[in-house]
Chain A
């Protein structure tokens, strides 16, 4: 059994009249995980995107981190639920990231504004040994 600590800080000196400083952390129980840097070949969904989380890979809870490594803001990465009619979940601009506890029984995929955009993504959780990534 291993643990993964994830912290998030959101701060601004001027979005409010008083400083905004939000810091949270969570320690995840995990026995398996990935951290992958990959190119996203597709520019549309419809089941052809790169899989960032495969349904039932994890048991009970799964945590997905996606960082869009594009330097142009407009080069988006789209995360969608491939199991449920390709429903859009997130649109991540270049240079930005998302951290999403995803439904373990759904497959989530990604496509980009342009072909071969680079992303970094990770999945952490307790492995469901009855399912493989193959």
Chain B
């Protein structure tokens, strides 16, 4: 059994009158179980020479539906104006949100819909990781 943990820290010294600092850690386990997620796509990067529309980054067919998979996606651009729109495949696609340069997201993924992306500019790179179960 593998053990994978995810930790997040949200902090700000100037958003509020007193400093904001929040940290939490989760052990990533299989659906309905205390057993750890035991498979991973590995950390991957994909370079896009041209702007993309509804590019299928993560295919639901590769993952068992209704499980407790986890997905991390990052826009590696350093430009604040270059963004990646992350979408759940549907008709039409459902926009989750935009990752501007340097932004990332970490979400649970049930494997029911493809995850597609649009890229706003040429020569953009997206980094992603799926941690999953059979």
The distance in angstroms between the C-alpha atoms of A7 and B6, with both chains bound, is 10
- Chain A: interface residue total (CB-CB under 8 A): 51
For residue B6, which residue of chain A has the nearest CB? A10
The distance in angstroms between the C-alpha atoms of A26 and B101, with both chains bound, is 9
Q: How far is the CB of A94 from chain B (nearest CB, A)?
A: 10
Tell me the total A-B contact number using a CB cutoff of 8 A: 162
- Chain B: interface residue total (CB-CB under 8 A): 56
The distance in angstroms between the C-alpha atoms of A71 and B131, with both chains bound, is 22
The main secondary structure of chain B at its interface with chain A is strand
- B33 CB within 8 Å of chain A: yes
**B108–A106 touching, CB < 8 Å:** no
- B34 CB within 8 Å of chain A: yes
- A44 CB within 8 Å of chain B: no
The distance in angstroms between the C-alpha atoms of A33 and B20, with both chains bound, is 11
**Chain A contact residues, CB within 8 Å of chain B:** 2-16, 20, 22, 24, 26, 30, 32-33, 35, 61-62, 65, 67, 73-74, 81, 84, 87-93, 95-104, 106, 122, 124
**Chain B contact residues, CB within 8 Å of chain A:** 2-12, 14-16, 20, 22, 24, 26-29, 31-34, 36-40, 42-43, 68, 72, 74, 88, 90, 94-100, 102-110, 112, 129, 131
Given A8-B8, A87-B94, A92-B108; 19 other pairs, CB 8 A cutoff: A8-B7, A9-B8, A10-B106, A16-B40, A22-B129, A24-B104, A26-B104, A30-B12, A35-B10, A35-B20, A88-B88, A90-B108, A95-B27, A97-B6, A99-B8, A99-B105, A99-B106, A101-B96, A101-B105
